[in-house]
Amino acid sequence: MSTRSPRSRHPEAPRQATIRDVARAARVSVATVSRALNDSGPVRDDTRRRVRDAADNLRFTPHGGARSLITSRTNTLGVLLPDLYGEFFSEIIRGIDRSAQRAGYQLLLSSARNAHDEVHGAFRAMYGRVDGLVLMAPDVELAELFAQHRDGTPIVFINSPVTSEDARVITIDNHGGAYQMVKHLVRKGHQRIAIIRGAESNHDAAERLRGYRDALDDGGLPRDPRLEFHGDFTETAGYRAGRAALKLQPHPTAIFAANDAMAIGALSALREEGVAVPGAIAVAGFDDIPIARYVSPPLSSVHVPIAQLGERAMDLLLGAIVGPDHGAARRVVLPTTLVIRKSSP
Amino acid sequence: MSTRSPRSRHPEAPRQATIRDVARAARVSVATVSRALNDSGPVRDDTRRRVRDAADNLRFTPHGGARSLITSRTNTLGVLLPDLYGEFFSEIIRGIDRSAQRAGYQLLLSSARNAHDEVHGAFRAMYGRVDGLVLMAPDVELAELFAQHRDGTPIVFINSPVTSEDARVITIDNHGGAYQMVKHLVRKGHQRIAIIRGAESNHDAAERLRGYRDALDDGGLPRDPRLEFHGDFTETAGYRAGRAALKLQPHPTAIFAANDAMAIGALSALREEGVAVPGAIAVAGFDDIPIARYVSPPLSSVHVPIAQLGERAMDLLLGAIVGPDHGAARRVVLPTTLVIRKSSP
DNA sequence: CGCCCCGGTGTAACCGTTTACACCCAATCT
DNA sequence: AGATTGGGTGTAAACGGTTACACCGGGGCG
């Protein structure tokens, strides 16, 4: 019925040229073409020229999939993030890309909410297309799952609570940052300092809470469960917590939000109620996103080198890929710095 | 010297299981394994179970590269952007990802400044790893280059000046947005309206300039070359232009910046010189980035549905991939909306 | 009873590259 | 002169999947 050839429909179907087409055009074997184009073996100068010309004429582009099948190198790195939303993401990608680009790697990007299945699925889809993986999973269970997945592709965890000794993991100093900020508030004389927490299962959130509590302890202030408001890192949650804080009888004189988005939400709530910031209540956040300096009053925050986080993660990964990284550090903790602005002088 | 087998070094190297391993373990042929795992042919129920079990035990994950080599489908889409920096990028990726995720595609991300070679290189590296490509190249020459690259993988251009009839291209209404904003300023009684332009070679910038000029013409105002300041979309450029504008003898009463970053730069310059905004000079921007509402005074801007831009681009691309999209629109222009805030009431 | 049909399975070709190995031939060494 | 080198090239075997095709056996049909 129909001929075997794929060209049968149109007389001149513009099929992409393969290495065989180039070989035929240059009157050499495919092996020579490969050698000529990759400089991977001896080729006579005029042969090389003939091959190069033929390749150009035919607009030959080697098929990445085929190449990586045989070489088992893809020149691609996987990036798996919980979300692709907002400043944090954009900054971390920037860092990752900077480092990857320098090393000549491409990025295969995937977002998966912290659901087991989604992450697992994304991971399967990446297998065989990447040489390594940067995984950000602040949720507890996931990390454990991957820690034991040690067959093959190297993984670097960002901000994940992986306990396994030989896992490569990079984090920021959540505890230290929160501790410093709350300590600062204590020193300024605040007696009742509230916190707006992040999600329960989130590792970063847990560490920041711990920093808050330790700072209170060290400052000789009592812990008060009523001052620990729940949140989930969204502006809305911050807004709600802000209103709730105002309902407390002797209301807190300072609010430390576990991230900037919530701090900004809290600011809106306070403004709505006509509460002076920092006059009546001081407010501070965490992350130091770019908007922080623009809100009014400008928001004190804990600065996190987000882009650097991505960059260092990538460096760690690249190190693991090029060779066994025996000597190299497997755990990196990036320091945070305090940025005091008008919201909590 | 060394045995042929890759297992020779360690007695039990944890090599990733292949389909052949699964076949052996389940005592069937590779064909049956493939059929069982992909539901791509008749398989007896108990056979299917045996195969599934074996696959789970061996932690079998199909090799993406190998699969795509034969099926010539990768389930991956390429995204090539000039930059991975800031709000704009983060929003557009979000839109792209939303659409891609819905359709079950992954994203291969690359950034290439608008240099010929870089873009070309990135493109080559993507060939054979993607089913289609979203390309953002506001620089003129590049777009032409790719318009003629019609062999194979479908491409969607974002904000690119591609003239070719049958190219798929999606843009925002740069001209209309600028026109509306300047018209608004005219209606408010401004007689001397300055513009801070974007880079010469940038298509968006050119269109916005055209909108500005047309609005002046239609408003019966003269064009004045001295009111057209150069810029390159950076905050610094806006700052410089702001200072320059103040030096003009009868200084402009309104400044329209071709993007928000430059508008914010101009605001700093005016604040430094103690010029009241909008009292003495009104300021407006373009893009409506999230920060715009937070600066003081809050910045009027032309709102661009950035995430939607990415999403629609992806939809266009997906449409082209699943089948020949004869009926579908090849050119989409997304409307912009005016957002008037305190900086230019 | 011979035929066809069809569910279930295996064999082998194929996708587009890289590369180990064999081969040829001229130049150099002994 | 014969052996040895080594540069330049071709042949074919991988890589790990998918799938066309052949095959086999049993049930339904004329």
CA of B67 to C1' of D22 (A): 24
* Cα-Cα end-to-end distance for chain A: 83
Give the residue ranges of DSSP H helices in chain A. Answer: 19-26, 30-38, 45-57, 64-71, 86-102, 116-126, 140-147, 174-187, 203-218, 235-247, 260-272, 306-322
pLDDT at position A141: 66
Q: What strand order describes the sheet that includes B155-158?
A: A331-334, A168-172, A155-158, A132-136, A76-81, A106-111, B106-111, B76-81, B132-136, B155-158, B168-172, B331-334
In-domain check, residue A339: no
Mean pLDDT of B276-283: 94
- Residue A16: pLDDT over 50: yes
Say how far apart CA A91 and CA A217 lie, in whole Å.
Answer: 34
Residue B87 pLDDT > 80, yes or no? no
Determine contact, residues B221/B191, Cβ cutoff 8 Å.
yes
* Per-residue confidence (pLDDT) for residue B167, from 0 to 100: 83
Domain boundary among A23, A38, A62: A62
**Among chain B residues 35 through 54, which have CB within 7 angstroms of nucleic chain D?**
35, 37-38, 40
Q: Which residue of B has its CA nearest to A61?
A: B124
Q: Do A63 and B124 touch (CB under 8 A)?
A: no
Q: Nearest Cα to A258, choosing from A164, A179, A337, A144?
A: A179
- Looking at the predicted structure, is the pLDDT value of residue A243 above 80? yes
Give the span between the Cα atoms of B123 and B154, in whole angstroms.
Answer: 12
Higher pLDDT, B57 or A1: B57
- From the list B52, B48, B45, B56, the residue with the least C-alpha distance to B17 is B56
Nearest-CA distance from A67 to chain B in Å? Answer: 9
Going by DSSP bridges, is the β-strand pair A228-229/B193-196 parallel, antiparallel, or unpaired? unpaired
pLDDT at B5: 37
Query: What is the distance between the alpha carbons of residues A282 and A190, in angstroms, rounded to a whole number?
Result: 9
Q: How far is CA B22 from CA A70, A128, A148, in A?
A: 21, 17, 21
pLDDT given at position B84: 79
- Mean pLDDT in residue range A33-44: 94
Residue A12 banded pLDDT, cuts 50, 70, 90: very low
Average pLDDT, chain B: 88
> How many interface pairs between A and B have CB atoms less than 8 angstroms apart?
134
A186 and A263 in a common domain: yes
CA distances from A235 to A91, A92, A206, A275 (A): 19, 20, 19, 18
- SS3 label, residue A168: strand
The string of DSSP letters for A122-135 reads HHHHHTTT-SEEEE
pLDDT at B10 over 50: no
- A66 CA, D15 C1': Å apart: 9
Closest by CA to A289, choosing from B86, B31, B117, is B86
Q: How many whole angstroms separate alpha carbon A118 and alpha carbon A197?
A: 26
Q: Does the pLDDT value for residue A327 go beyond 70?
A: no
The closest CB to that of A108, out of B84, B106, B291, belongs to B106
**Spatial contact of A208 and A228, defined as CB atoms under 8 Å apart:** no
Q: How far apart are CA A126 and CA A110, in angstroms?
A: 9
Backbone angles phi, psi at B303, to 5 degrees: -75, 130
Distance from CA of A210 to the nearest CA of B (A): 31
pLDDT at B13 > cutoff 90: no
Q: Which of B21, B76, B89 to mutate to test the interface with A (most CBs of A within 10 A)?
A: B76
A7 DSSP assignment: G
pLDDT at A94 over 70: yes
Nearest by CB to B111, which of A75, A101, A127? A101
- Tell me if A70 is assigned to some domain: no
User: What residues pair up with B228 in beta bridges, in sequence order?
Assistant: B195
Chain A partners within 8 Å of B127 (Cβ):
16, 61-64
Q: Judge if the beta carbon of A328 is closer than 7 A to nucleic acid strand C.
A: no
- Are B178 and B299 within one domain? yes
Residue B312 shares a structural domain with residue B293: no
- pLDDT more than 90, % of chain B: 66
Cβ of residue A74 near strand D, that is under 7 Å?
Answer: no
- Residue B248 pLDDT level (bands cut at 50, 70, 90): very high
Is 90 exceeded by the pLDDT of residue A85?
Answer: no
Q: How far apart are CA A278 and CA A35, in angstroms?
A: 69
Which residues in 11-30 of chain B line strand D, with CB less than 7 A from it? Answer: 16, 18-20, 30
Could you say which of A34, A62, A90 is where a domain stops?
Answer: A62
Closest by CA position to B145, among listed B158, B160, B159: B160
Domain count, chain B: 3
**What is d(CA B151, CA B238) in angstroms, rounded to the nearest whole number?**
42
- What does the block give as tokens for A180? 């410093």
H or E element that contains B226? none
Other beta carbons less than 10 A from residue A39's beta carbon: 9
Partners of B111 on chain A (C-beta within 8 Å) are: 97, 101
Residues A152 and A167 in one domain: yes
Whether A182 and A298 share a structural domain: yes
Q: How far is CA A28 from the centre of its chain?
A: 47
CATH number of the structural domain spanning residue A22: 1.10.260.40
DSSP B287: B
For the stretch B116-150, pLDDT in tens is 778 888 888 898 899 999 998 877 566 666 655 55
Provide the shortest C-alpha distance from residue B140 to chain A (in Å): 22
Tell me, yes or no, whether B185 and B225 share the same domain: yes
Contact A229, A244 (CB under 8 A): yes
Same domain for B296 and B185: yes
| Alpha helices by DSSP H, chain B | 19-26, 30-38, 45-57, 64-71, 86-102, 116-126, 140-147, 174-187, 203-218, 235-247, 260-272, 306-322
Query: Which range of residues forms the domain containing residue B34?
Result: 19-62
Weakest-pLDDT range from A6-20, A115-129, A200-214, B133-147: A6-20
Output the six-digit token pair for B6.
């890759």
* Cβ contact, residue pair B109, A110, below 8 Å: no
CATH code: domain of residue A121: 3.40.50.2300
Q: Is the pLDDT of residue A7 over 80?
A: no
Residue A144's pLDDT band (cuts 50, 70, 90): low
Residues B209 and B290 in one domain: yes
Nucleotides of D under 7 A from a protein CB: 7-12, 14-20
Alpha-carbon distance of A259 to A174, in angstroms, equals 11
Could you tell me if A285 and A294 are in contact, meaning their C-beta atoms sit under 8 angstroms apart? no
Residue A290 located in a structural domain: yes
What CA–CA distances, in Å, run from A342 to A131, A241, A345, B40, B113?
Answer: 46, 21, 5, 64, 38
Is the pLDDT higher at B294 or at B194?
A: B194
| Interatomic CA–C1' length for residue A32 and nucleotide C21, angstroms | 15
Q: Is the CB of A50 under 7 A from strand D?
A: no
Q: Is the CB of B66 under 7 A from strand D?
A: yes
3-state helix, strand, coil in chain A (%, to 5): 45, 15, 40
The CA distance from B137 to the nearest CA of chain A, in Å, is 18
pLDDT of residue A4: 35
User: Of B281, B277, B310, which Cα lies nearest the Cα of B295?
Assistant: B277
In a domain, A68, yes or no: no
Q: Is the pLDDT of residue A257 over 80?
A: yes
Candidates A124, A129, A291: best to mutate against B (most CBs of B within 10 A) is A129
Q: Among A67, A129, A291, select the one facing B64 at the smallest CB separation.
A: A129
For B48, the token pair is: 């299917």
Q: Which of A77, A89, A131, A151 to mutate to test the interface with B (most CBs of B within 10 A)?
A: A151
pLDDT at B122: 86
Bases in strand C with any atom closer than 7 Å to a protein CB: 7-12, 14-20
Say if residue A163 is in the same domain as residue A312: yes
Question: Both B167 and B312 in a single domain?
Answer: yes
pLDDT at A128: 82
Task: Identify the domain boundary among B62, B81, B114.
Answer: B62
* Length A34 CA → C18 C1' (Å): 8
What is the token pair recorded at B21? 């391993």
Q: Identify the residue among B109, B110, B260 best suited for mutation to test binding to A, counting A beta carbons within 10 A and taking the highest.
A: B109
Are residues B251 and B315 both part of a single domain?
A: no
Q: Do A69 and B65 touch (CB under 8 A)?
A: yes
**Does residue B138 fall inside a structural domain?**
yes
Which residue among A76, A90, A151 places its CB closest to the CB of B90?
A: A90
In a domain, B314, yes or no: yes
Per-residue pLDDT at B290: 81
Does residue B247 lie within any of the structural domains? yes
Q: Buried b vs exposed e over B307-342: b needs ≥16 C-beta within 10 Å?
A: bbbbbbbbbbbbbbbeeebeeeeeebeeebeebebb
A28/A171 Cα distance (integer angstroms): 54
Q: What is the mean pLDDT of residues B50-54?
A: 96
Residue of B329 and B71 predicted with greater confidence: B71
* Span A221-236, pLDDT tens digits: 999 999 999 999 999 9
> Minimal Cα distance from B75: which residue of A?
A125
- Asked whether residue A167 falls in the same domain as residue A178, the answer is no
Q: Is residue A343 included in any domain, yes or no?
A: no
**Closest CA of chain B from A222, distance in Å:** 36
Which residues numbered 45-74 in chain B sit less than 7 A from strand C, measured from CB? 47, 66, 69-70, 72
Other CB atoms closer than 10 Å to residue A37's CB: what's the count?
A: 17
Q: For residue B72, which nucleotide's C1' is closest to its Cα?
A: C15
Could you tell me the distance in Å between the CA of residue B41 and the C1' of nucleotide D27? Answer: 21
What pairs with residue B30 in β-bridges?
A: none
* Strand partners for A194: A255
